[in-house]
C-alpha cells in the first residue's frame, strides 16, 4: 500500500469503533495488518513507538482471559500509553449503573474502551453512548481482534491470502463467525463444518453469504468435516465447550464426535496446511496432540500476533 493510500485509510480509522469486521473494508483490514507487520518487525529490532504516549485504555472484562488481557495491556505499554483493568467488581455497572452512564463517564477519563463480555448488544449500546472508540474483545457473536491476528498469521506462513481455502471445523460460534468474515474480506474461500444443531447464527451467516457474493468468494456450511477440510490450506478449530456452556459439556462431547482435528481428518487437507486454534485448547477433544503440537501447527505465532494486531488497532482508532 503506497503512502498516500495508507494516509487516507488511516484518517478513516480514527475514532472508529471495532465491533465486527463487517464494518471494516478490505483495504482498512489490510492497512491494519500491514501496520501490525511493521510493528512486529520493529519490536524485534528493539524499536517501540510512542504514538499513544499520555493515552489511556479502559479494559472492561466480564469474562476471564489470558491472551486478551495481556496482549492489550502490554500493547498499550509498548505504545507509550496506559491500560486499566476493570472488572464488574471495579465498576458500578456491577451494581446496576446503566451502560449509558458508564460510557459517558469513561469517555471523560480514557481515550478508548475495550470490552470482553457475553452480549453483543451490550457492546453496541456502549458504542452508541460513548464519545470514544469501543473495541470488541469478544462477545457471543464476534471476536474480531482474534480474526485479525489469524489473518496476520496466515500471511506470515502462506505469503498471501489470495486464492487460499480456509476451513473452520467445530462449533459455529463467535470465533467461527469472525474467522469466516475475515477470510471473505480478504479473498479466501471458506468452509465451515459443524454438527447438526451447532450451525452459525442465521443472521450472521446470511450477511456472510451476501459478503461472499460481493467479494466473489465462496463460502459453504456443511455437517461433514472431511468435506470442509478437503484441500484446505488453513484449518481452524476452537474448543467444543466455550465459556457459559459448561453445563452442556457431556452432551457436546457426544455431539461433536467425528469433528476432532486429527491426522486422519487432516489427510483430506492440503499437504502444506497450517493449523490455527485461538486457545485455550483441550488436547484430545477438539484436536489431537499430534496435530496441535505437530509441524503444521502455528498456534503460538497466532497467539503472539494478538499483540501486534491489537497494537495496530489501538494506534489506528485512538486520536
- The per-residue pLDDT for range 19-49, each reduced to its tens digit, is 999 999 999 999 999 999 999 999 999 999 9
Domain boundaries, the chain: 3-142+305-318, 146-302
Question: Which CATH architecture is the domain 146-302 placed in?
Answer: 3-Layer(aba) Sandwich (3.40)
**Residue tagged active-site, from 116, 177, 277, 308:** 116
| Binding-site residue set for carbamoyl phosphate | 65-68, 92, 116, 143-146, 278-279, 306
What is the phi/psi pair of residue 297, to 5°? -80, 135
Assign 248 a pLDDT band (cuts: 50, 70, 90).
Answer: confident
- The per-residue pLDDT for range 189-226, each reduced to its tens digit, is 999 999 999 999 999 999 999 999 999 999 999 999 99
CB-CB contact of 193 with 259 (8 Å)? yes
Tell me whether residue 183 is one of the annotated catalytic residues. no
**Residue tagged active-site, from 78, 140, 278, 296:** 278
| Binding-site residue set for L-ornithine | 174, 238, 242-243
CB-CB contact of 137 with 83 (8 Å)? no
pTM above 0.95, yes or no: yes
pLDDT at 94: 62
Tell me whether residue 238 is one of the annotated catalytic residues. yes
- Please report where in the chains the cell 465491533 appears, as a residue: 19
Three-state SS at 122 = helix
CA gyration radius for the chain? 19
Q: Which CATH number is 3-142+305-318 given?
A: 3.40.50.1370
Within 45-190, residue ranges assigned H as helices are: 67-78, 99-106, 120-129, 144-158, 174-185
Q: What is the mean pLDDT of residues 112-118?
A: 96
- The per-residue pLDDT for range 127-157, each reduced to its tens digit, is 999 999 999 999 999 999 999 999 999 999 9
Q: What is the rounded distance in angstroms from the CA atom of residue 209 to the CA atom of residue 107?
A: 36
Instruction: Examine the pLDDT at 241 and tell me if it is beyond 80.
Output: yes
Within 10 angstroms of residue 1's Cβ, the number of other Cβ atoms is: 13
Instruction: Examine the pLDDT at 1 and tell me if it is beyond 90.
Output: no
Same CATH fold assignment for domains 3-142+305-318 and 146-302: yes
Tell me whether residue 206 is one of the annotated catalytic residues. no
Amino acid at each position: 500500500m503506497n503512502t498516500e493510500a495508507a494516509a487516507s485509510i488511516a484518517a478513516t480509522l480514527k475514532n472508529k469503533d471495532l465491533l465486527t469486521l463487517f464494518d471494516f473494508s478490505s483495504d482498512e483490514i489490510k492497512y491494519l495488518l500491514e501496520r501490525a507487520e511493521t510493528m512486529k518487525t520493529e519490536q524485534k529490532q528493539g524499536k517501540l513507538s510512542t504514538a499513544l504516549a499520555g493515552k489511556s485504555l479502559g479494559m472492561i472484562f466480564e469474562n476471564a482471559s489470558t491472551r486478551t488481557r495481556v496482549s492489550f495491556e502490554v500493547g498499550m505499554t509498548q505504545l507509550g500509553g496506559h491500560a486499566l483493568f476493570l472488572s464488574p467488581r471495579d465498576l458500578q455497572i456491577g451494581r446496576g449503573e446503566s451502560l449509558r452512564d458508564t460510557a459517558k463517564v469513561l469517555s471523560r477519563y480514557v481515550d478508548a474502551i475495550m470490552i470482553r463480555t457475553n452480549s453483543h448488544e451490550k457492546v453496541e449500546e456502549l458504542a452508541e453512548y460513548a464519545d470514544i472508540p469501543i473495541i470488541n474483545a469478544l462477545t457471543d457473536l464476534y471476536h474480531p481482534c482474534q480474526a485479525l491476528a489469524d489473518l496476520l498469521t496466515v500471511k506470515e506462513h502462506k505469503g498471501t491470502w489470495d486464492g487460499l481455502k480456509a476451513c473452520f471445523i467445530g462449533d459455529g460460534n463467535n470465533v467461527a463467525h469472525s474467522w469466516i468474515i475475515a477470510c471473505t474480506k480478504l479473498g479466501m474461500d471458506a468452509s465451515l463444518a459443524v454438527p447438526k444443531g451447532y450451525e452459525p447464527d442465521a443472521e450472521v451467516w446470511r450477511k456472510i453469504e451476501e459478503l461472499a457474493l460481493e467479494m466473489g468468494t465462496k463460502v459453504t456450511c456443511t455437517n461433514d468435516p472431511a468435506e470442509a477440510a478437503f484441500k484446505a490450506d488453513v484449518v481452524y478449530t476452537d474448543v467444543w465447550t466455550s465459556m457459559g456452556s459448561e453445563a452442556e459439556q457431556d452432551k457436546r462431547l457426544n455431539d461433536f464426535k467425528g469433528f476432532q482435528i486429527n491426522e486422519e481428518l487432516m489427510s483430506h487437507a492440503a499437504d502444506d496446511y497450517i493449523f490455527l486454534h485461538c486457545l485455550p485448547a483441550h488436547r484430545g477433544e477438539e484436536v489431537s496432540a499430534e496435530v496441535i503440537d505437530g509441524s503444521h501447527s502455528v498456534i503460538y505465532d497466532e497467539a503472539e500476533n494478538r499483540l501486534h494486531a491489537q497494537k495496530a488497532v489501538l494506534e489506528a482508532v485512538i486520536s
